[in-house]
Structure formats: structure tokens, C-alpha cells
Amino acid sequence: MALSSLSLFLSLRSFYSARPILPPLLPKPRAFSSNLLRSHPHHFGAPLKASTEGAAMAQKIFDTEEALMVSLAKYTADLSHKFSVKRGSFSLVLSGGSLVKSLRKLVEPPYMDSVEWSKWHVFWLDEKTIPKDQDGCNYKLAYDYFLSQVPLLPGNVYAINEALSAEGATDDYETCLRHLVKCGVIDMSTATGLPKFDLMLIGMDPDGHIASVFTDHPFLQEDNGKWVTFIHESPNPPIDIITLTLPVINSSAHVAIVSTSGHQAMSTSNSVKNSGDLDGKMPIIQWVSPEGELTWFLTGDAAETVGEKCV
């Protein structure tokens, strides 16, 4: 389908539902946007400080990963019901990695029959600029382990369009998000004017970063109103990765950080105990402070330490 002008955007749903790259349940990926910020980190002024002020925070610590998945499924299903009743839709943002595998209880009774899957609108926290059928793609990971097993509406799954350049895909995804906020599918924060996703499910990498937001990247401190950006020459391959910005993450109604491995738990422990700013290379996880509620779902050796610090 040609993208000649935004006037054709009237039929956004049809655009998203174009011929899928993976099995027919899911739509062809969409795209997202933001200009590359090329300034050197040292060109900024005083560094931002991490803060958890104003964020309602809770911690859930589990002896086993199985117990964590049971609780995470109920937590997600409860929020799905809440927002489906309140607004007629439920906006969910997924990260990559092991996070998606932690959702497998949602495809089992009682949730398969009780969740209003038609109300779900699924987005990605970040994505690599690689084909949708390639290993390492967050879309493929979500499809293989979760999305292919639930009856979502094809037009309600919003993946990036990897056929575009990183900058073009970034612009495309931001245009998509702005349209969905305007038509009420995604809520808007009255405090920031940014999209207010109902739930962000975030897995954490062993180095403590989330999405593709790294503490030494210049865009972290850039207050330019962008909702989506891309990272060129990312510390993790491939070179270009598209990501929601930290202000958008922090505008969410609910954020759940899931850590299930020993390495993740240790990183979580360190990130919660440490304080500092960008100059100290503090793990980006410490910068997550949503408007709404932050909940940690934890297993691992460091869970007890994290729990004491997160209360």
C-alpha cells in the first residue's frame, strides 16, 4: 500500500491489516519515528537525576518462576478488564527477551475464555530493524510464544515496518501512536500530553537497561517532545534499534518490571541500591518512575534485597 500522504491515514486500520509477514493472525508491521540525536553526551548541561518520587511502587517476590507467571497473568488480566470497561480498549506494550515467555499462563484457562481479547491493542517498547521472520525480532518472539495463541484482532497489533529506514520507521510509528491517542484507543496523560499506555510489561537485560535506552545515549536527556526515537550504532547489535522514549515510558498508567533470572536479579539489586546520574552510568532501570503504578515481579537470589529497597 502506498504511503503518499497522511491524508490516506483515514484508513489507518486497513493500513495496519495489510498482508502479514508472519501467519495471518497478525497484521503487517507498522512503523515509528523520531530524528536521530547526534549530539555528544558531554554537550548536555547538568545531568538529569533519577527519581521515584510520585510513583506508587509495589514488589512481588516469588520462590519460583511458575508462581511469578501465575501472578503476572492475573495482574495483566485484571488490568485488561479494568481498562476495557473504563475506555473500551486495553493498550499493552511488550518488550522483548524472556518477558514474553512469562505470559504463557494467559493462554491457559481461565484467561483464554475470560479475557476480552478483541479490546487489546498491542505495541512494542523497542524493536530491531530486521525482518519480522528473523530470530531476534521482538515481534517474532511475541508471536511465537504468545500472540499466535490468543484471538487478537489483526488490526490491533502494531509492529514496526522494517521495510522503511530506521528514521522512516520511527516517524511512522509515532504517527500511528498520535493517531491512536487522538481517536481514544490510547489514553493521553493530562500531566505531560504524552501517550498514557495502560500497561507496559518490561523485561530487564542483565546490564540493567530497558527498551533500548542506555544511560550514555544523548537522547536520554533530550526534551524535544518525541515519543519514539531510534538508536544508531546501538551498544547491542543490530546497529539500528527503534524505541519508545523514557518520558513515554514514564507516562504509563502501569509499568511492570519482570526479572526472572539470577543475572537479572543481581542487576536489579544493584540498580535499586545505587543512586547517581548519567555520569555514574547508573542502570536505566533506576530511571523508571511512571505517573501511575510501578510493580516489580521478581525471582532470583537478589529478590529479597530488591524487595526491601522497593517497599
Q: Contact, 227 vs 195, CB < 8 A?
A: yes
The domain ranges of the chain are 27-33+54-310
Residue 310 has pLDDT above 70, yes or no: no
Confidence band (pLDDT; 50, 70, 90) for 6?
very low
H runs (alpha helix) in 225-273: 246-249, 262-273
Question: Dihedrals φ, ψ of 182, to 5°?
Answer: -60, -40
**Can you read off the three cell numbers belonging to residue 260?**
526472572
Residue 16 has pLDDT above 50, yes or no: no
Give the pLDDT confidence score for residue 41 in this predicted structure.
Answer: 25
Share above pLDDT 70 across residues of the chain, in percent, rounded to a whole number = 61
76 vs 130: which has the higher pLDDT? 76
Q: At what angle do helices 303-310 and 262-273 cross, to 10 degrees?
A: 30
15 vs 53: which has the higher pLDDT? 53
- What single DSSP character describes residue 20? P
State the chain's mean pLDDT as an integer: 74
Confidence band (pLDDT; 50, 70, 90) for 236?
low
What mean pLDDT is predicted for residues 72-83? 98
Residue 24 has pLDDT above 50, yes or no: no
Give the pLDDT confidence score for residue 19 in this predicted structure.
Answer: 31
Give the pLDDT confidence score for residue 146 in this predicted structure.
Answer: 96
What mean pLDDT is predicted for residues 256-267? 66
299 vs 15: which has the higher pLDDT? 299
What mean pLDDT is predicted for residues 75-91? 97
Q: pLDDT tens digits, residue range 157-182? A: 999 998 999 999 999 999 999 999 99
152 vs 53: which has the higher pLDDT? 152
Question: Dihedrals φ, ψ of 23, to 5°?
Answer: -50, 155
What mean pLDDT is predicted for residues 99-119? 96
Give the pLDDT confidence score for residue 119 in this predicted structure.
Answer: 98
Give the pLDDT confidence score for residue 245 in this predicted structure.
Answer: 87
* Among candidate residues 279, 149, 301, the one with its CA nearest the CA of residue 220: 279
Burial (Cβ within 10 Å: 0-12, 13-18, ≥19) of residue 177? buried
Residue 278 has pLDDT above 80, yes or no: no
Q: pLDDT tens digits, residue range 192-225? A: 999 999 999 998 755 555 555 555 555 555 557 8
| Topology at the third CATH level for domain 27-33+54-310 | Rossmann fold (3.40.50)
